A and B are shown apart, each in its own frame.
Chain A
Amino acid sequence: MNPDIILSIRNLKTRFFLDEGTAKAVDGVSFDVSRGQVVGIVGESGCGKSVTIKSILGIVQKPGEVVGGEIFYRRRDDGVQEPINLRDLDDRGEEMRDIRGNEIALIPQEPMAALSPVHTIGNQLIEAVRLHRDVSREEAANICIARMGEVGISNPEERMGVYSWELSGGLRQRVMIAMALVCGPKLLIADEPTTAIDVTTQAQVLNLLRRLQKEQNLAMIFITHDLGVIAQIADYVVVMYLGRVMEQGPVDDIFHNPQHPYTSALLASIPTIHSGTREELPTIGGSIPHPFNRPKGCPFYPRCPGFIPGKCDRFTPVPSPVSDKQSVACFLHSDAAEETE
């Protein structure tokens, strides 16, 4: 493993065993995250982007289960030591708990759901610090105040004493970012952190995240369904559809040289602020199937303009490189197929 890579996901498979059947929520996902890199995972509902990060954090809930693959992670203290496989750790064990929140931190989509309404912001932040650091309350409070200042919260000392419901949506999200950063994590995972807030506030939060990431040389996984947001923040993009990676590569290649029919169709179909008024948009036909009814073969074939009958609906393409950094899972590029089970 390249020493810059701190997280390497190989062939991750997570399934949900429900009465209606088994849903392959994440089906053979692989990607790497390097130091100081922002990896954006973009996809629509049911694509498995959220389940992927839950699998990494070991917080997949029943009836879901990680059934295959490896999650290699390089812990901070041992530079020489080989990366460990997070799947070998007990999800509720001490080591995993130490990694989660301390080394790998999460910024959730809904700060209101993640913050307790009956404790002050300060108490929750101090609690988060003292969970992973052996410091006194005063020291912890100082760390928190410093972090709150860093994320652009004015009067941090005063704000320590308020409750989450007294804050605006943008401030709450800043508090969540401060909380994620209090322990100085190595990897930050942001799960649609700007979906629930207004456009002008979203711009502020994105700027903040970009600044913090640069300053601290953080590795970050950023999840969103919004192609605009991903273009603004990611260095490297993973495009997912129905549990599989369709395409991945550097952000500029994905947006300016997309190779997978899904990526290019998706990019063409969104109206941009530069597009002309009342032009008919190119569309992707049909709608996303339910994860239980995932088509056999390539999951995108029923909606794909480049569908090859007898091939795409029978075999599942696997990612194969189109350049040294970009890879695509599509029979238009390579015949590489998954062995049938």
Chain B
Amino acid sequence: MSEKSVLLEVKGLSKFFPIRSKGLRRKIIGQVRAVDDVSFSILEGETLGLVGESGCGKTTTARCIMRAMTPSGGEILFRKGDGSITDIAFMSERELFPIRGDIQMIFQDPYASLNPRMNILDIIGESLLVIGGIKDREKRSQRVGELLELVGLRPEYMQRFPHAFSGGQRQRVVIARALALNPRLVVADEPVSALDVSVQAQVLNLMLKLQDEFNLTYLFVAHDLSVVKHFCDRVVVMYLGKIVELAPTEALFQAPKHPYTSALMGAVPEADPRRRADMVPLEGEVPSPANPPSGCHFHPRCPHATDLCAKEAPAFEEHAPGHFARCHHVAELNLSGVQD
């Protein structure tokens, strides 16, 4: 692992949203710990998956890294193109400006992430103009044409407006926009979950191809474990704002160390009618992040929970090389992963 350098390191990242009272003074009466002390690093050229169910904080984590929002605490260390490392967690908009081109994003909903009033040339060309400083429209359209070809769309389409494209094609436009300034980190927030099944594979293949071609680093946020298994080198599993497990993909799917990860794998409906009996659903539902359970957040739903789990929050420890988990009982448990 050490041959690859760390591109981005998140240390103790947290993001709290205040809960205000209903009255006129709107006093802060509590906090939703959407992201709570999250630490991980992303290596240059790898794909790190970030999985979890709704309310686990995966999207908030991604948006903090993008600096689409400001975190409440922690560090986000980014290795710039010249090799120097800066903490972008609390940078001002002005300080962030030179880094914006290096970190780009692919959104979940390709219908919401393209401005309907702008044509494709202006949408993709915006960062070329604002950050790239390419004032000449002719030069910009040439670059946009190249980018469109790169994502498998015809350059002539740059005059068209988003409404002329299907969901899959829009997502290609979003990818082209993200690639405009040769970013080094691309955060993909559920890039295929809003697309039709028959076009998901196209977009995934395209992202893989582009990664090989440009040595891109992906932070891949998803709820679908099948896609994560297919796409990622390492996976971070989150539950209620905390990381519960972090491991290389193969190790995670073969031998998960956290009961939640194992349950998540068991809940994936497999596209094979001959594998029906396997499904063992987890009891209960994800609690509200505004009022998480004591001790280990997962204990009320955990089939292996003991008194200790309700009292004490487990530590996040390395149990095998590169395989971390946050559970008191890793040693005693023999959890099932994906059986072939």
Contacts and interface: CB of A to CB of B under 8 A. Distances in A.
B269 A231 contact: yes
B226 A200 contact: no
B253 interface: yes
Contact of B272 (A202, A231, A278): A231
B285 A170 contact: yes
Nearest to B169: A287
Given A200-B286, A270-B271, A275-B226, 19 more contacts: A198-B53, A199-B223, A207-B281, A225-B197, A227-B271, A228-B270, A231-B269, A232-B276, A252-B274, A270-B197, A272-B272, A273-B225, A273-B229, A273-B265, A274-B338, A277-B230, A277-B231, A277-B250, A287-B196
Contacts, number: 158
Nearest to B199: A287
B131 to A, nearest CB: 31
B266 interface: yes
Contact of A284 (B201, B250, B272): B201
Interface of B: 53-54, 166-169, 196-202, 204-205, 208, 223-227, 229-233, 249-250, 253, 263-276, 279, 281-282, 285-286, 338, 340
A200 to B, nearest CB: 4
Contacts of B282: 200, 203-204
A33 interface: no
A278 B276 contact: no
Interface in A248-280: 251-252, 255-256, 265-267, 269-280
A200 B263 CA distance: 8
A203 B267 contact: yes
Contact of B230 (A169, A252, A271): A271
A271 B205 CA distance: 11
A281 B225 contact: no
Contacts of B227: 271
26 contacts: A199-B267, A200-B264, A200-B281, A200-B286, A202-B267, A202-B269, A203-B266, A226-B197, A229-B269, A232-B270, A234-B273, A255-B273, A256-B273, A269-B198, A269-B201, A270-B197, A273-B270, A277-B249, A278-B233, A282-B201, A283-B201, A284-B198, A284-B199, A285-B202, A287-B196, A287-B198
Interface of B is mostly: helix
A59 interface: no
A270 B223 contact: no
Contacts of B168: 287
Interface of A: 44-45, 168-171, 198-204, 206-207, 225-232, 234, 251-252, 255-256, 265-267, 269-285, 287-288, 303
A271 B204 contact: yes
Contacts of B269: 202-203, 206, 226, 228-229, 231-232
Given A266-B197, A273-B229, A201 B285 contact: yes
Q: Lowest 10 CB-CB distances: which A-B pairs, in order?
A: A271-B230, A228-B269, A203-B267, A269-B201, A203-B281, A198-B53, A281-B201, A287-B166, A44-B196, A283-B201
Contact of B273 (A231, A276, A303): A231
A281 B233 contact: no
A271 B198 CA distance: 11
A275 B166 CA distance: 28
A198 B286 contact: yes
A234 B273 CA distance: 8
A269 B227 CA distance: 11
A51 B169 CA distance: 25
Given A200-B264, A287-B167, A287-B199, A272 B223 contact: no
A255 B196 contact: no
Contact of B271 (A169, A202, A231): A231
Given A198-B286, A199-B223, A267 B271 contact: yes
Contacts of A231: 269-273, 275-276
A171 B266 CA distance: 21
B166 A273 contact: no
B340 A274 contact: yes
A31 B133 CA distance: 60
Nearest to A201: B285
Contacts of B225: 199, 273
